[in-house]
Structure 1
């Protein structure tokens, strides 16, 4: 029988990360006496401050895998590492004490209060495979030789500290390195030429500069944001100006130009109040107004008339829409979006589509009327449309809180909180309900949504999710759809050149992983067919290898007893984006499992987890524990 376990201390005061997985049929017994190792750990504790949560480390002990030893990680009944996360610990990480441990493979002290330099002589821990120091206050440089000889090292997670200096070159000596996270530090200089084939990196928000190495140009662009870097996947590097005379000329020209601009601005400011985004608005008005043969605006059934698909909206003309105050919201793969506020103060969003000629005018209009008849609390309502051969306009309601993508991936101000777990759970429940409605109301469409991603999940005034850009596959030009739409980045599209009724569920699975991890599916940025497997691969590698708290977005601010439900959702996400379509869940099963989730584990659930702890206290995930298809 499979078992679910929750890793927690016996006092239940502050539970560690819950483990929701499938275990082997029986536990593997401990390998022997851990007396010497316990003495080394007690010596290690002496160098820590605020270590009250480790007061249960007491001698004598024959087995470190007993539940009373908080933070000990075991594999097959053998002590293999420490996970001391979020305990308020400080002081010094004494490497000498840890070097006496015979099978020490993993060290995590994330989310604590450690400060000072990088642990000295770390490379004496030759067997160490995973190092997690993120979200502390470490500072100073890291010696080039810091990782020399640690050939088994696979994961180095140092994000959100204050490390300075160059990236240590000894990281290039780690053949098995698959995960390197150095974001939000103060590293400077150039990025070394990392060569490891399966490496995923994050260098964002440091002081790095220069060209991104060719070996890393397949990484997500967000991994390099907040630096002075250039080259793929960022903008191309500009040629350097070597002549100092040219620099002086440019500086003088810029100064003169700036003075002219300031003078003109002061003059114009006295005459007229500037309209926000006026240049973009003027361009929008000019392009959208269609002249007749006489050169005047023609309001006929063919040009200038909006087709409304909802009876509960106030009617207005296209000309009124074009003359309304407008704000550019963004530009995507399909076209630009504008927020238009009409005279009554009602805001609408105008979407412009140029690659929407897959069907004729009558069939297009009938499809839009069908979408206008859809009504669900988690669908963004289509209000009206405008048709002409060159381009189409879709008018929808305006969502006050923007997109889910903007909340997950935009850099926020220090006082702006991220989306917490209850909010994210409500969002994914609403998304699944909206998707289920599309499946039920559009049974003839292979892709009821077709473009389900975080930027197409909008958030209303109370953060209720609203699906947008749904059911547009029938009208989008096929070549454009296959190049940009999310459904065509699925495994079945990439491998077999077709999509199925389960393809939208694959998109839902990737969305769930993005929601829980806070990581963006990098392959969505690539044009053409091809699966966005990087996110699923990363999650899969974590749950297979170690199952640590790093998989979850730290901005969720985890609450007590929430971990079990989060892990359930993570497993649902993996089952939804299984590469094997036959093994992938269908929409009914996925929606049902999502709706069963709760914000916190109930007392009964919590007790059932606790009863397992005495048998399985802490265990590394293996392939047998969590059998996902290869992503």
Structure 2
């Protein structure tokens, strides 16, 4: 009897611990250090030299070992990306880590059959893309992983059918990336309503796409020649069925009586009345909304961005007006408790509460279809910028917190650091320090209205070099993102008082509602997306090239996109249409003409680099590393012994060697 009571008591305590989310620390068997060292022994790399028996993996939230994620002094994740790892993943040792929630071994050299990750049934995220895993995935590959939300297996060598049996039983699945493999058979019919992002592209799948996925982007299924049905082309059998149904419908119509016609007419009239009422209500609400807030005609009006309209390229939004953030987020005041707390990234800065922001006097700095920006003064005098995002409604709380912490760990002189963030289902707030000098867009296109001097050649070169350094850091520290920045443009580059550029709005593609991302993010204006419905690692390089062209020409890229009238026309296309011998007169910003005598050769070199970054053919387009190396070689003044050739690498224009003077 005593034994029974004790057992019941222990079981009850265990249930309470699980329900309350208490971190479980192993009290017997191998320690976390011993388990991770066993994992290290089976991975051939020199990158894990910090993993030593003399230290512990975690100290509170701080990780002492490279690639280890910690919380409350225990290991919660592994992020071993881009380390050239070979060997095998010791799943049996990882089983001994009860608090493990995420693993990422992306961008390595791991090969062989897929690891038995279903032994780690507490995982939320699995990132194994860009390795060399091969063979067939068993149907129970994900069996029992009821907490799993993200599966990334892109660009491996996996074959056979997709394991539908276990995938359909993952109730929390949100993201599934299986593209770039050799899967065969049909696309599985996944019932999860939580699924917001998936990709089966570039496999060998066959048959019709399930109706439940018909509203997904076509890029999610491209590269499978034998797939059919929405959002791809219709299936042949489906067309035959539709023709038969159409014939049957025609026969039915011939049999309708006069009474049936009367019924139809009445129904149409009623429907028209309902539609008219709905349209009136929508029109009235829209009219009222326009009275309540100032809206920009372009999304590019973000932090300090100019209002650039056709024929008015030098006019700016003077609609900045004082208003309280309370009027924008008044619905926050009706909520309390944990929902009202800001999450801080930095520990060394001034702390403040959400209600401080709601009481703060603020100025609206810009408003677009992506976000609205407000400059606020805190009670102690600190000036901050609050960005309110409108198009992140599909991301869950855990995913948002995890991604924000990842962005918050980034640290580089050319990145604007995140101070704090706030999550609600309906909206998200990101808080940063105020950069008083404004954006690069303002300095390039609105300096006259602000009473400032134009940026000279040394300043523009300094800005370009700073931007490339920041982008290079993002590529290194966010390797799992297909486009680490995703929205690189002049209004997302802030300038310090010394004209050092700070990149902002970076790393947000995974959070944006996918159905609207193509209308918001710059990467979706690239040739590879417009032509093939996809983006790659080189898409950010294309954005960099367009940005450099904007800096050199002084012309706003969006003006060229508007000229397309159905077919996108880029700033690079305009430069390409001008003969190289006319570049000095026609392409460069007139404000740079004073530097032509001493720096023309270096300016042309930078222009050639930008064109190599804007090459439409992905195979010919430079990668970021090559672009950074060439940009670092650019000097403020021409050098007699400096040689540089672009056409051999990027096929940009005609071959030319630049040395001292420019010969076309």
The residue matched to 2:436 in structure 1 has which SS? coil
d(CA) in 1 for partners of 2:364, 2:413: 26
Query: What's 1:338 paired with?
Result: 374
The residue matched to 1:408 in structure 2 has which SS? helix
Q: How does 1:611-630 map to 2 (within 5 A)?
A: 624-625=654-655
The residue matched to 2:387 in structure 1 has which SS? strand
d(CA) in 1 for partners of 2:362, 2:560: 29
Task: Give CA deviations for 1:470-523 in whole Å, capped at 9, x if unaligned.
Answer: 000000001221112100000000000000000000000000100000011136
CA contact (8 A) 1:523 1:531 kept: no
d(CA) in 1 for partners of 2:565, 2:527: 9
Task: Give CA deviations for 1:262-288 in whole Å, capped at 9, x if unaligned.
Answer: xxxxxxxxxxxxxx934x32xx30331
The residue matched to 2:476 in structure 1 has which SS? helix
The residue matched to 2:598 in structure 1 has which SS? coil
- Post-superposition offset of 1:625: 4.3
- Post-superposition offset of 1:322: 1.9
- Post-superposition offset of 1:545: 6.2
- Post-superposition offset of 1:399: 1.2
d(CA) in 2 for partners of 1:590, 1:520: 22
Task: Return the match for 1:224 from 303, 311, 326.
Answer: 311
- Post-superposition offset of 1:414: 9.2
The residue matched to 1:394 in structure 2 has which SS? strand
Task: Return the match for 1:395 from 426, 431, 436.
Answer: 431
d(CA) in 2 for partners of 1:305, 1:396: 16
Query: What's 2:385 paired with?
Result: 349
When normalised by structure 1's length, the TM-score is 0.50
Residue 459 of structure 2 corresponds to residue 423 of structure 1:
yes
- Post-superposition offset of 1:325: 2.2
d(CA) in 2 for partners of 1:376, 1:406: 23
The residue matched to 2:464 in structure 1 has which SS? helix
The residue matched to 2:386 in structure 1 has which SS? strand
d(CA) in 2 for partners of 1:329, 1:585: 36
Cα 1:573–1:289, aligned 2, differ >3 Å: closer, same or farther?
same
Task: Give CA deviations for 1:252-305 in whole Å, capped at 9, x if unaligned.
Answer: xxxxxxxxxxxxxxxxxxxxxxxx934x32xx30331336xxxx6543112x11
Cα 1:226–1:441, aligned 2, differ >3 Å: closer, same or farther?
closer
- Post-superposition offset of 1:526: 5.6
RMSD between superposed Cα atoms in Å: 3.0
Task: Return the match for 2:326 from 285, 292, 308.
Answer: 285
d(CA) in 2 for partners of 1:226, 1:503: 27
Task: Return the match for 2:570 from 534, 549, 556.
Answer: 534
Cα 1:526–1:227, aligned 2, differ >3 Å: closer, same or farther?
closer
d(CA) in 1 for partners of 2:570, 2:347: 44
The residue matched to 1:558 in structure 2 has which SS? helix
The range that moved more, 443-452 or 539-548, is 539-548
The residue matched to 1:565 in structure 2 has which SS? helix
Cα 1:476–1:227, aligned 2, differ >3 Å: closer, same or farther?
closer
The residue matched to 2:430 in structure 1 has which SS? strand
d(CA) in 1 for partners of 2:594, 2:400: 47
- Post-superposition offset of 1:222: 4.5
Query: What's 2:631 paired with?
Result: 594
Residue 444 of structure 2 corresponds to residue 408 of structure 1:
yes
CA contact (8 A) 1:337 1:350 kept: yes
Query: What's 1:561 paired with?
Result: 598
CA contact (8 A) 2:314 2:446 kept: no
Task: Return the match for 1:315 from 351, 366, 373.
Answer: 351
Cα 1:387–1:226, aligned 2, differ >3 Å: closer, same or farther?
closer
Cα 1:549–1:592, aligned 2, differ >3 Å: closer, same or farther?
same
d(CA) in 2 for partners of 1:299, 1:361: 17
* Structure 2 spans left out of the alignment, 5+ residues: 1-306, 645-651, 658-664
- Post-superposition offset of 1:394: 0.5
The residue matched to 1:348 in structure 2 has which SS? strand
Query: What's 1:447 paired with?
Result: 483
CA contact (8 A) 1:349 1:396 kept: yes
- Post-superposition offset of 1:411: 5.8
d(CA) in 2 for partners of 1:475, 1:515: 29
Aligned length: 340
Cα 1:566–1:545, aligned 2, differ >3 Å: closer, same or farther?
closer
Residue 549 of structure 2 corresponds to residue 513 of structure 1:
yes
Q: Which has the higher helix share?
A: 2
Task: Give CA deviations for 1:220-268 in whole Å, capped at 9, x if unaligned.
Answer: 975522899xxxxxxxxxxxxxxxxxxxxxxxxxxxxxxxxxxxxxxxx
Task: Return the match for 2:613 from 576, 586, 607.
Answer: 576
d(CA) in 2 for partners of 1:602, 1:472: 41
For CA contacts below 8 A with separation 6 or more, give which structure has more relative contact order.
Answer: 1
